[in-house]
Amino acid sequence: MKPFPGMKQIPVHDRATFNLSFLLEHYFPKSDFVKSMRATARLRIAEHIQRGGKGKVIQVERLKEISPKDFRRDYLSKGIPVILEKGATAWPLAARWSFDNFRQRYGTEMIKLVQRKGVAADDEVAHGREFSEEIQFGDFLDQVIGGGSKYMRFSPLLEKFPELLDDFDHDFFKQMAGNNWGLTYQLFMGGAGTFTPLHNAMTSFFFVNVCGIKRWALIPNHYLAVMNPSADGFGYNHSKAQIDMSNVDAFPGFDCIDRMEAVMHPGDIFFLPSWMWHCVQNDAPTIGVRCGFIYPKGMVMEAFTLSFIRLFAARNPSTLEALYYVLFKKNLPERDKWLLTAKLIRR
C-alpha cells in the first residue's frame, strides 16, 4: 500500500527477493547463501532508488476534526498517518497531567527505566540488559525538566498507577479503531533532545501528546531493504540509519527515499499505522502516551512478510508471550510486567 502519492517504486522482483532473504535469515542466520542473496537484492534496490534523485519530505496531514467512520475509511484502512489537532484537549489528562502534578502525587515512588537495543541510544544500552536502572520518580522528573538525558520509553507506569487511566476518553479508541481489543498504554517522558532511533512494529497506535513538542520522522516499510534491519528475532525491527544522513554511506539510497514528518504539540493525537518506520525527538520536555491496538488487516496489508516473521519467527518475545502479556498482564508481578514491556517495545 502507498502511504502517500508519488512514492518511488521498487521493482517487485527485487523487493520480493529481499523480503524472502530477510525471512530466511531468521531461520538460517549463519547461511552465507542467504546473506549474499540479501546483500545483492539490497544493492540493486539502492541503485534503483538513487537513479530517481534525492528523496522528498512530506508533512503529515493535520485535521481539526474527523468522524470515526471517515477516519477508518480514509486513514486506518489505507495505512496513512494523520494528526488530530488538539484532539485530546478536552480529556481530563490535559488539565491534570503535568510534571509538577506527577511529582506531588508520585514523587517518592520508585520506578524503572527500561532501555532496549534498537529503540534507545547506543550509550543507553549496556550489554543487552533489560533494566537500565531504578530511580525515584521525583528525581527522574527533576532531570527531565533540567535537560537530562534519561528517557522513559514504553513504560507500563499506568498499570502501577491505574487511576491515571480514568483521565482518558476510552470511547475515542473504540470508535476510531472500531474496537478496543488488545488496547495497551505505554508512557513516555523525556527532556529536550532525547530521542528514539528508527524502528517499526506490527501494532498500530494512537499517540497522545500531553505536553511538550515531539518531532517524528516516518518512512514507509516499502523501503525495508534500504533500512537494512538486523534479523534478531525481536518483536520489532530497528535500523541504525540516521535521519540527519550522518551515516548515509553505510545505508546506500537512504538519502533518496521519500519520508514524512510530523510535529506534535500539546493535546495532539497522532495515528501511526502498522509497520511504518519512525524515529522521534523531543524538542521540549514531554509527557505522552502510546495507545496501541490490534488491527489485523493493517498488519498484513502493510507488510505481509514482517507479519509472518513476527507471528512465526520472532523469539524475543514469541507470539505466545505477546498474547500472554496482552491478555493477562494485570495478573503479572511488577518485575515481569517491566520485563515483558521491554520485550514488547513497539511505538
Give residue-wise pLDDT tens across range 63-115: 999 999 999 999 999 999 999 999 999 999 999 999 999 999 999 999 988 87
Q: Do residues 67 and 248 lie in contact, with contact meaning Cβ atoms separated by under 8 Å?
A: no
Report pLDDT digits (tens) over 153-203: 999 899 899 999 999 999 999 999 987 677 899 999 999 999 999 999 999
Residue 46, C-alpha cell as written in the block: 539502492
- Ordered by where they begin, the domains of the chain are 55-343 (2.60.120.650)
* CA-based nearest residue to 299, from 77, 119, 84: 77
> 266: buried, middle or exposed (CB in 10 Å: 19+, 13-18, 0-12)?
middle
Cβ atoms 274, 220 nearer than 8 A: no
Q: Which of 210, 137, 205 is nearest to 168 (CA)?
A: 210
Instruction: Report the pLDDT value the prediction gives residue 338, as an integer from 0 to 100.
Output: 43
Closest C-alpha among 185, 161, 135 to residue 334: 161
Report pLDDT digits (tens) over 207-253. Answer: 999 999 999 999 999 999 999 999 988 888 999 999 999 999 999 99
Q: Any idea which of 30-34, 125-129, 279-283 has the lowest mean pLDDT?
A: 125-129
Amino acid symbol at 93: L
User: For the residues 12-17, what does the mean pLDDT come to?
Assistant: 96
Please give the full DSSP string across 192-240, using - where no structure is assigned.
Answer: TT-EEEEEEES-EEEEEEEES-EEEEEE-GGGHHHH------BSEEE--
pTM: 0.89
The pLDDT, as a whole number, for residue 328 is 55
Residue 61 per-residue DSSP state: P
- Region 258-280: mean pLDDT is 97
**Inter-axis angle of helices 334-343 and 319-328, nearest 10:** 130
Cα–Cα distance for residue pair 176/179, rounded to 1 Å: 8
